[in-house]
Amino acid sequence: MEDDFAATGYGSDIENLLLLVSVKLQKVRGGSGIEAETWLSNWLDTPNPAFNGVCPRVVLQTSQADPKRFQAKQDV
């Protein structure tokens, strides 16, 4: 999985997310058999309301190309 992401140019971001997901799953679920790679892959490809229905994978790709597009908006 990491090799697939590395070829797209955002492998290190995915590797960091994968490490975070692995640690969190171990803490929360006690290693209940959920594979971090499977969970992350599913999350990346599921439309997310926090991103206006866009899949996180698309947000990650777009933010690599145009970092300002998905910056958090700050209240004034």
Picking from 51, 29, 36, 30, the residue whose alpha carbon sits closest to that of residue 2 is 36
Looking at residue 2, its pLDDT comes to: 46
27-44 residue pLDDT tens: 876 766 678 888 899 999
Looking at residue 46, its pLDDT comes to: 95
**Local confidence pLDDT in tens for the 76 residues of the chain:** 444 544 445 567 888 888 898 888 888 767 666 788 888 999 999 999 988 899 988 888 876 656 566 555 544 4
H/E/C letters for each residue in 1-35? CHHHHHHHCCHHHHHHHHHHHHHHHHHHHCCCCCC
